[in-house]
Structure 1
Amino acid sequence: MSHPAAAEPIRLALRVSPGGSRAAVIGRYGNAWKVRVVAAPERGRANDSVVALLASTLGLKAPDVRIVSGTTSRNKTVELTGLTLAEVESRLTDAQEGAS
């Protein structure tokens, strides 16, 4: 039991902007979070980049971040294991571009 505080995975809505100059958490996009990745949306590279960005931003391992819907869309749902929703929201807010 490595994550007793957050045993249940949480789901997070994302809006992904591929092909950017650098990867970043942009901020809120309606009920979702907008993120930008450098990779182009071909052969799953942008999805891999989304997983890597979220894992590093949230302090998770890549296997704890899983895209569960929207693999071919800019609108994705990711499942996160190991954090509470409050922790995720706080870390994304701290990481968003322009946050000090």
Structure 2
Amino acid sequence: MADWFRRNGEVVTLTLHIQPGAKRSEIAGLHGEALKIRLAAPPVEGRANEALLKFIAELFGVPVRQVELKQGGQSRHKVVAVSGSKIEPESVLKT
């Protein structure tokens, strides 16, 4: 059992470590008990958060409205909830 996500019915809660301002958006593996994601967006005016929600939505094959930032709006450490995805969280590590 991985520490970076929890499943509760239809909702998967992800613990993330974000590195904004990267060359491209990608999964960078695990960072302690969090999934590390590099984001191409700069950490300015919420743009990195918007880009993160879009990136997670694409990864999990759901509309952006089914991805919600739960914690960490101003932090690199974030908690995001994804609802209604059929994709297993473990499988995103293999992309």
TM-score range for the pair, normalised by the shorter chain length = 0.7 to 0.9
Q: Percent identity?
A: 33
Counting helix residues as a fraction of each chain, which structure ranks higher?
Answer: 1
- CA deviations 1:11-57 (Å, max 9, x no partner) are 11000000000000111111110001111111100000111111111
TM-score normalised by structure 1 residue count: 0.80
Counting strand residues as a fraction of each chain, which structure ranks higher?
Answer: 2
The yes-or-no answer on 1:48 pairing with 2:50 is yes
Structure 2 CA distance for aligned equivalents of residues 44 and 23 of structure 1: 16
Partner of 1:27: 29
Partner of 2:89: 88
3-state SS, counterpart of residue 94 of structure 1: coil
Give, in angstroms, the shift of residue 9 of structure 1: 1.7
Runs of 4+ in structure 1 off by over 4 angstroms are: none
Q: Which residue, 70, 73, 87 being the options, matches 2:72?
A: 70
Partner of 1:98: none
- Larger RCO (alpha carbons 8 Å, 6+ apart): 1
TM-score normalised by structure 2 residue count: 0.84
CA RMSD of aligned residues (A): 1.7
Aligned positions, number: 88
Unpaired runs of 5+ residues, structure 2, are 1-7
Unpaired runs of 5+ residues, structure 1, are 1-5, 96-100
Larger radius of gyration: 1
